[in-house]
Amino acid sequence: MDVILSTLIKNHAGVFIVWDRLFGTFQEEKERPTYGITTPVKTWNPIWSQFFGMYQIYQTTKKMRYFSDKIKVLFKKPGWQPHYLGGSIATPEIDKKTYQKYDFHASAKINYYIFFQYILTFAGTAYFLFNQQHWQIEYRLLYGFLVAWAVLNTGKLFEQNKIWYYVEAFRLIFSFLLVGIGLVYLFGMPTEISVVFSFLTIISIFWWLQIKKYIFI
């Protein structure tokens, strides 16, 4: 999203501009856009990034006196508030010279590890999508939880969060015991898939031990 006011609520189409043409939201860019949001989400956590906007709305509803206003804020334009709270909040003008996006640089060693985990998560998600129709609902939920957990952990490791370094250790061990061993017996996962996953998880565990010095700096 462009944070320049002239195009802030314009150009929503992610791929084909025809949709903006059809719905009247197209705006020709007359200056180089600054992409982002007006209130940057200061984290690499992709799970929190999805719910950050909802959290802001929730914080707004806590100030409202009437239940009807709490419902209205869900459908009104961004920044809407009832008159007793001062009315709608104007979108602040963004100064390109001072606007700063969240940018936390992790070491290359951590970046390589996280990239490897994302590849494993992507492969695991693909396997899930192609095979989940044969699984029971509890298995689907459990596998989905593991995927979300992997994405959450890697995001926090990007920030070199020390607590999540230990959470990552627990995730690797738990995933190894569950997917590498347990699912073969509980849900009939093919043995060759389990062997490959176990091997890659063991590599991850030893790699995880090596990045400790880059987390605790």
Domain count, the chain: 3
Give the residue among 202, 154, 155, 205 at the shortest CA–CA distance from 180: 202
17, 85: one domain: no
What is the per-residue pLDDT across 15-46, written as a single tens digit (0 to 9) for each? 777 887 887 777 777 777 666 677 778 778 77
118, 176: one domain: yes
What is the per-residue pLDDT across 104-131, written as a single tens digit (0 to 9) for each? 777 778 888 888 888 888 888 888 888 7
Q: Is the pLDDT score of 2 beyond 50? A: no
> Two tokens at 29?
């860019």
18, 47: one domain: no
17, 79: one domain: no
130, 210: one domain: yes
Give the residue numbers spanning the domain of 143: 108-215
Mean pLDDT in the chain?
77
Tell me the C-alpha distance between 35 and 83, whole Å.
31
Strand-pair partners of 109: none
113, 207: one domain: yes
Tell me the C-alpha distance between 206 and 74, whole Å.
47
What are the b/e assignments for 41-71, b being 16+ CB within 10 Å? bebbbeeeeeebeeeeeeebeeebeeeebbe
146, 123: one domain: yes
Question: Which residues are CB-contacts of 172 (< 8 A; sequence separation ≥ 6)?
Answer: 201, 204, 205, 208
2, 76: one domain: no
Q: Is the pLDDT score of 149 beyond 80? A: yes
